[in-house]
Amino acid sequence: MSGWVAVAGLGPGAEDLVTPEVQAALAEATDVVGYIPYVARVAPREGLALHPSDNRVELDRARFALDLAARGQRVVVVSSGDPGVFAMASALFEALEGRDRTPDIRILPGITAMLAASARLGAPLGHDFCAINLSDNLKPWALIEKRLRLAAEADFAMAFYNPRSKARPEGFARVLEILREACGPERLISFARAISTPDEALSTVTLAEACPEMADMRTVVILGNSATRRVGAWVYTPRSAP
């Protein structure tokens, strides 16, 4: 039996936002590997082994998936959203370096949280934008601050992942300070929590009104550029340059 690895995005949360391609891979899989809450989204069935693991062992998880595939297993490594956006695809290729044999590898895209959030809000990412992971687990805080300031100077709309956790309660407060300094107090900022799930919540305020407690690890934060504005209940960024 020839083994393979598929790195699959499960989307933002709703079952109907999982692509048919990902559903087909899960139906063929012998093993599912991933972070504990993402593996929990996969329905157990006969012939399928589930291998949940902790959040900070991405490379170990990737190596384990490659080892299973080398033994002929059909492995799906699950991520939320899209596997190439702050997720497991890059970890798998890093774990692949130095290996003599390469299994069949497929990267199966999913709907990442910033795009699902943008759709719920309207079109705040309608012009040039960037995505920044605000966790300093894998990069120094100084680099985060540098990228924030440069993105603000370039007038990008910005999508922020992992804004605030129990282990990092103070970082997002500093982010808001930097953004107020760089963008001014009237810039629109949106908080999209648990998009496409029963816990979904949306809020758009100005930077002057924003506070750190509006965000947690289930929240994607979207900052508009200088042209972003409201129309009715919607938030959008015009496609023409500001």
pLDDT tens digits along 34-52? 999 999 999 999 999 999 9
Whole-number average pLDDT of the chain:
94
Residue 167: pLDDT above 90?
no
* Share above pLDDT 70 across residues of the chain, in percent, rounded to a whole number: 99
- Cα separations in angstroms, 9 against 54, 59, 76: 18, 17, 10
Using alpha carbons, select from 129, 184, 186 the residue that is nearest to residue 161.
Answer: 129
Model confidence at 56, pLDDT cuts 50, 70, 90, reads: confident
Query: Given this model, what pLDDT does residue 203 score?
Result: 96
As its CATH architecture, domain 114-236 has 2-Layer Sandwich (3.30)
68-89 as b/e, with b when 16 or more CB fall inside 10 Å?
bbbeebbbbbbbbbbbbbbbbb
Instruction: Write out 193-206 in H/E/C secondary structure.
Output: ECCCCCCCEEEEEE
pLDDT of the residue at 242: 63
Residue 7 CA to residue 5 CA, distance in Å, equals 7
The arithmetic mean of pLDDT across residues 217-237, rounded, is: 96
Residues spanned by CATH 3.30.950.10 within the chain? 114-236
Q: Among 3.40.50.300, 3.40.50.620, 3.40.1010.10, 3.40.50.740, name the CATH number for the domain at 4-111.
A: 3.40.1010.10
The structure tokens listed for 95 are 């774990």
Per-residue pLDDT at 68: 96
Residue 134: pLDDT over 80: yes
**pLDDT tens per residue, range 69-82:** 999 999 999 999 99
pLDDT, position 241: 66
Q: Give the Cα-Cα-Cα angle 80, 65, 219 (nearest 5 degrees).
A: 15
Predicted confidence at residue 164, as pLDDT, reads 86
> In the chain, which residues fall in CATH 3.40.1010.10?
4-111
